[in-house]
Structure 1
Amino acid sequence: MSQSPGFVDLDNPTHVCKLRKAIYGLKQAPRAWYHELRKFLIASGFHNSHADTSFFVLNTGGNLLYLLVYVDDIILTGNDDTMVHKFMQLLAHQFSLKDLGHLSYFLGVEVIPNDHGILLSQRSYIVDLLTRTKMMDAKPVHTPLPTSPPITLHSGSPLKDPTEYRTIVDSLQYLLITRLDIAFDVYKLSQYMHQPTTEHWILVKLLLRYLCGSSSDDIQLYHDSPLSLHAFSDSDWAGNKDDLISTSAYVVYIGRNPISWSSKKQRTVARSSTEAEYWSATATTAELNWVSSLLTELGVVLPQSPVIYCDNIGATNLCSNPVFHSRMKHVAIGFHFICEQVQNGTLRVSHVSSDD
């Protein structure tokens, strides 16, 4: 650390100070805090999760403690109230902490217990967003984005100042914690952050109008739900009209509880609908493996193997019998397929004269 003004060593003015302790605000401070907290938890008998490094599990003879940390915000729960209380005292002895009681609000998400389980809501966050954008009294709509005409990069004229567009879309991304119904729409609008147009701005306001009429839509997690782990996988073949890249999507459930979802653009151009669906199923498989690993660390035993539901027969057969790859009906989207390989350096296109 540089020598502070007024405390510079005149004999060694170019020397720096060696920190004995991380100072709040420096780049290494969050890492130093995590290592300090992790060292204490490991010494207390906790096991650091491999699936999520911010998650810790203590299992002593069937008595479980779960601890989830986000910077200096901590959720602690377990199946033994006495054990939870004792560890709270131990934690308070080591660190300065404030007990906020039963979980009711965490990182912008309201946690509301009820007879069926718990309700996760971001209504307050939505209200703040609508108030900030002056859309609180806007006329609600029933769908977040229109299905036609297709949204493209060059539709409309470029915005003179794209700052507000980027700010609102950034804020909408945080809503995806509980609002899987707008996952595709936010992903789509995020693709134009570098060059938003007037048409894109109209679509952002349309999405805000949809939130205005659905701000109370929450996720109910049921405590009596079965432990069956399954997922729904899908894709739209060449759905992006700018580069003809497909979009993969999945929703992962434990019983009737949705726990993970995604809507993302694929990295390569799929030459058939089967290929697009297969890549979507691949992404879903990776997510299911992660969820299964996390459940194992939680001490949860699944009664049966996870299941992926896919609506494409070719992709389904390909997953179970690799020999079917020879029957995939590739429909060439020639220009984009070749262009991608040229850009990646795996193909070269050179000119030759007609005579030759």
Structure 2
Amino acid sequence: MYLLVYVDDLILIGDNATKVNHFIVILAQRFSIKDLSLLTYFLGVEVVPNKHGLLLSQRRYILDLLTQTKMQDAKTVPTPIPTSPTLMLNSGFSLFDPTEYRQVVGSHQYLLITRPDIVFAVNKLSQYMHCPTTAHWSFVKRLLRYLVGTVDDGLQLYKDSTLNLHAFSDTSLSLQAFSDVDWARDKDIFCSTDAYVVYLGINPIFWSSKKQRTVVRSSTKAEYRSVANTAVELNFICCLLTDLGISLPSCPIIYYDNIGATQLCSNPIFHSRIKHVAIDFHFITDQVQNGALHVAHVSFEDQLADALTKPLP
């Protein structure tokens, strides 16, 4: 059995219904609890069973957000954020009252639990919380228009991981990540944005899109840092799976679309040419050489993390 506790909300799962019910009885003897039966709603996330597994949806949350902003009847758009013009700090004019901007963008952050398709857009818009402008607000309204057309979208978790729905998923418990970086796209301070998506079998279980904290002069350094950040997350997930008693059939794999960065992870002869790369990022080389991690090249057409680093058409 696994028990997830978040303040006063709990999820209890197990492969033996009798033992699960017995555990609930034991809990009720010590605490005042209410059994809501099968899981259908948890912290704003709707859990919808279907023939493939579970669909995690925040449809009700999105509808409330659209109603609050009076955008429920807005015309839809096909993408969360346009490819042009490029959003910058001084685009447009400062908002007289930035409160609504901060509230709406903050509300979008909770949607990232089940909507990786808007991760980059929310990450970008969150960078202007301190001084939002009319141009930033227009991008927020475009994101709301995108949600109008995708209100029923959610995160499908498949119970049968043997379904060959992904070209790289060969085993049900294989841990694999797609990592990508967009070098110096931020035209205000020229920082890079790196991102990754982690899959357990065919199910995406974690994703991230963040602006790197420092400006790098080399695209290779930005790429290598992105792979290193992905490796850190994989280390945490491996430890979590170990605590849950789950053993992986093979070492995790990071798929990357930059051949140079991929070779750097396993071939130390290249290191002498990039001495400006910080030493703490070289821990990934140790993991590759020790067999704890594998970094493989993937074509940019198959790079799933691409949508988390830049606006796509």
Query: Do both share a fold (TM > 0.5)?
Result: yes
The aligned residue for residue 246 of structure 1 is: 192
Which of 66, 75, 78 is the aligned partner of 1:139? Answer: 75
Give the corresponding residue for 1:258.
Answer: 204
AA at the equivalent of 2:145: R
1:85 counterpart letter in structure 2: N
TM-superposed CA distance for 1:325, in Å, is: 2.5
Structure 2: how far apart are the matches of 1:314 and 1:221? 34
Alignment of 1:170-181 (within 5 A): 170-181=106-117
Q: 1:142-181 residue pairs with structure 2 within 5 A?
A: 142-181=78-117
Write out per-residue CA displacement over residues 246-280 of structure 1, whole angstroms, 9 at most, x where no aligned residue.
00100000111100000001111122111111111
In structure 1, C-alpha distance between the alignment counterparts of 2:275 and 2:69, rounded to whole Å: 48
Q: How far apart are residue 328 of structure 1 and its match?
A: 4.6
Q: Which blocks of at least 5 consecutive residues in structure 1 are unaligned?
A: 1-64, 331-356
2 CA distance for matches of 1:158 and 1:323? 51
Q: Distance in 2 between matches of 1:329 and 1:287?
A: 25
What is the CA deviation profile of residues 77-114 of structure 1, one whole-angstrom value per residue up to 9, with x for unaligned ones? 11111111111001001000100001110000001111
1:18-67 CA-to-partner distances (Å, cap 9, x unmatched) read xxxxxxxxxxxxxxxxxxxxxxxxxxxxxxxxxxxxxxxxxxxxxxx100
2:177 to 231, 234, 237: 231
> How far has the Cα of 1:323 moved from its partner?
2.8
Matches within 5 A, 1:303-322: 303-322=249-268
Deviation at 1:329, TM superposition (A): 11
Q: 2:2 aligned with 1:66, yes or no?
A: yes
Q: Report the identity percentage.
A: 67
The yes-or-no answer on 1:202 pairing with 2:148 is no
Structure with bigger RCO (C-alpha 8 Å, 6+ apart) = 2
Q: TM-score, normalised by structure 2?
A: 0.83
- How many corresponding residue pairs? 266
Output aligned runs, 1:176-195, within 5 Å.
176-195=112-131
For the pair 1:92 / 2:28, whether they are aligned, the reply is yes
Structure-2 separation of matches of 1:87 and 1:253: 31
Structure 1 or 2, whichever has the larger Rg, is 1
- Distance across 2 between alignment mates of 1:92 and 1:321: 57
Q: Which residue of 1 aligns with 2:294?
A: none
Matched, 1:128 2:64: yes
Quote the offset at 1:219 in angstroms: 1.0
Secondary structure at the counterpart of residue 177 of structure 1 = coil
Alpha carbons 1:314, 1:328 under 8 Å: kept:
no
Q: Give structure 1 regions of 4+ aligned residues with deviation exceeding 6 angstroms.
A: none
2:164 equivalent to 1:218: no
Instruction: Work out the CA distance in 1 between the residues paired with 2:148 and 2:125.
Output: 18
1:273 correspondence with 2:244: no
Q: Is the 8 A contact 1:250 1:263 kept in 2?
A: yes
For residues 268-347 of structure 1, what are the structure 2 equivalents within 5 Å?
A: 268-328=214-274
TM-score, length of structure 1 as denominator length: 0.73
* Structure 1 residue aligned with 2:310: none
1:231 is paired with a residue whose SS is strand
CA distance in 1, matches of 2:271, 2:186: 25
Distance of 1:236 and 1:325 partners within structure 2: 22
Q: Distance in 2 between matches of 1:166 and 1:238?
A: 26
1-structure distance, mates of 2:194, 2:61: 28
* Matched AA of 1:95: F
Q: CA deviation at 1:318?
A: 1.2
Q: Secondary structure at the match of 1:241?
A: coil
Distance 1:147 1:278 in 2: 26
CA distance in 1 between counterparts of 2:71 and 2:271 reads 51
Amino acid paired to 1:185: A
Q: Report the more deviating stretch, 168-177 or 107-116.
A: 107-116
**Are residues 185 and 172 of structure 1, via their aligned partners in 2, closer, same or farther at CA, if it must alter by over 3 Å?**
same
In structure 2, distance between residues paired with 1:78 and 1:329: 51
CA contact (8 A) 1:234 1:280 kept: yes
Matches of 1:155 and 1:325, distance apart in 2 = 40
Q: 1:230, 1:253 within 8 Å by CA — same for their partners in 2?
A: yes
Q: Is structure 2 residue 52 aligned with structure 1 residue 113?
A: no
